[in-house]
Structure 1
Amino acid sequence: MHEESNQTIESPPSQWWLAKNGEAEGPLSHQEICDGLKSSRIRSSDYAYSSDQKEWKPLAAWSEFESGTAESALQTPPAPPVDSYPIEPLLTNPRLPAMANWICIYTLQISPWLWCLYAVSEMISGTALKEKAPLMGVEVLAMIISMLVSLGVTISLFIGGIRLKALSRSGPNIIILSIVVATAAHLLLSLGVMVIIAMTDQNGFTSKTVAVELIDYFVLIVALCEGAFLLTSLFWLRRNARFLPLS
């Protein structure tokens, strides 16, 4: 009869991951972390993930290291918590999906600069009608209304972008409303311009230089691209806003 000797099966040592700039660095052993703490390469305030406990918390909060199983050691930890980021992004939020962050970038950075571009191009291009044209005053009034409406929409989009970045539930609603108002206003103004053109004699239009025409074409292309992005954002927010981590 063979005697069976009792053998102690040692489980593999636990593995650790450190949060560095929002990404998991590892796996690391207990000794590697201790060496890093001694050399000041690793700080006690750095977030660490254990293959045993399966949670992120600062190294200073870990009282001891325990051995884990081989199965848990092979598991990849989840994304580090937001608190582990050294600097909060200025225009985006790491908890939002990519499309929502692009909307934040547009509303907070791109949209104000585009309004300035449109305002400068309007001043350079001037009016399409001559000063003595009967509908000259109507065109000037339409230009002023267009600039004021676009300014109001830009401010509204900026506020919505701030609230969306802050994970406020009112952010998507403000952005959606702003896009709807901007679309309706531009359609009405475009219809008014078409009426003015139809009612004006051919001799009532001013002649423009090649440089001014190139600026107008460039602004038109930019406006079409912006309009396409706004419509895409509108449909995306209407379908996905309820799934965002908003409060």
Structure 2
Amino acid sequence: MESPQSQWWLAKNGMAEGPLSHQEISNALKSNKISLADYSYSSDEQEWKPLSAWSAFESGAEDGALQPPPAPPVESYSIEPLITNPRLSPMANWICIYTLQISPWLWCLYTISGMISGTTLGENAPLMGVEALGMMFGMLVSLGVTISLFIGGVRLRALSRSGPNIIILSIVVATSVHLLLFLGMMVVVVMTDQNSFASKTVAVDLIDYFVGLVGICESAFLLTAFFWLRRNARFLPLS
């Protein structure tokens, strides 16, 4: 039985609404704003159950604020999110959003901008073929990493323990390959005569600057996600 000082919270699309008194809940039931199938949380028993599962409410409630209850169970959601999971922490959900929605579009952006910008070296440069081969290799690796990140995001959202491991491995592979390609490009630039570089328009330069800025932001997020997963993946509700 609930004590006269018990307070209540209602589950509204994953958020805890309250604290509420018996009278407030009764009024909401009478006005059909809520139903007996809605989930509620008691400050006495400290668990979420449908209103129909609780015994009759006792009148009266404390005026003092109580500690908010934990997040309502997934069963209380009217619509399950498409790319996140309410059981995951905010950072884990941001990783899901990135891997499932942002990363594929960024790969398309990088690919299109690379096709527009072309190679840094001119067509007659001796090492132009090496640069083109490196660009093609980087594009294929990026595609593989994007697919791997998507699979990891799907499994993370499904609360599978393999999800964080796949994402961490994908970040390591992407970082290593792109670092090697960058160093190789620096060697090619040093070995090339200044007259062998291709001329680019202002529009192409602006596209390169924009894509470079986006790449820096993405790299910062990936490094943050890498260290966060290494430290906190064991605390997530994974199986």
Structure 2 length-normalised TM: 0.89
Displacement of 1:25 after TM fit? 2.4
The 3-state SS of whatever aligns with 2:171 is helix
Residue 179 of structure 1 deviates from its aligned partner by 0.4
Q: Distance in 1 between matches of 2:113 and 2:103?
A: 15
Q: What's the counterpart of residue 207 of structure 2?
A: 215
Alignment counterpart, residue 78 of structure 1, candidates 69, 85, 90? 69
Q: Does 1:168 align with 2:154?
A: no
Partner of 2:178, secondary structure, is helix
**Residue identity in the other structure for 1:78:** P
**SS of match in other structure, 1:17:** strand
Contact 2:22 2:58 in 1 (8 A): no
Alignment partner for residue 94 of structure 2, among 92, 95, 102? Answer: 102
One-letter amino acid of the counterpart of residue 111, structure 1: S
Q: State the secondary structure of the residue aligned to 2:83.
A: coil
Deviation at 1:34, TM superposition (A): 3.5
8 Å contact 1:119–1:147 — kept in the other structure?
Answer: yes
Match of 1:158 in 2: 150
CA offset digits 1:61-90 (Å, max 9, x no partner) = 23434579979x964452222221222222
Structure 1: which 5+ residue stretches go unaligned? Answer: 1-10
State how far apart, in whole Å, the 1-side matches of 2:207 and 2:62 are. Answer: 65
SS in structure 1 at match of 2:10: strand
Residue 174 of structure 1, CA deviation: 0.3
- 2:224 matched to which residue of 1? 232
TM-score using structure 1 length: 0.86
Q: Which residue number corresponds to residue 32 of structure 2?
A: 40
Larger gyration radius, structure 1 or structure 2? 1
> How far apart, CA to CA, are the structure 2 residues paired with 1:164 and 1:231?
18
Deviates more, 1:62-71 or 1:166-175: 62-71
The residue that corresponds to 1:3 in the other structure is none
- Residue in 2 that maps onto 1:8: none
Deviations 1:96-127 (A, max 9, x none): 22221221111111111111110111011011
Residue-by-residue CA offset, 1:188-243 (whole Å, 9 max, x unaligned): 11121112212222221111111111111111111111111111111111111111
Q: RMSD of aligned C-alpha atoms?
A: 2.3
Tell me what 1:140 maps to.
132
Is the 8 Å Cα contact of residues 54 and 77 (structure 1) preserved in structure 2?
Answer: no
Higher mean C-alpha displacement, 23-32 vs 161-170? 23-32
AA aligned to 2:41 is Y
- The answer to whether the 8 Å contact 1:51/1:68 transfers is no
Q: Which residue of 1 aligns with 2:120?
A: 128
Check conservation: 2:37, 2:52, Cα contact below 8 A.
Answer: yes
Q: Distance in 1 between matches of 2:35 and 2:97?
A: 33
Q: Which residue of 1 aligns with 2:56?
A: 64
Specify the alignment match of 1:206 in structure 2.
198
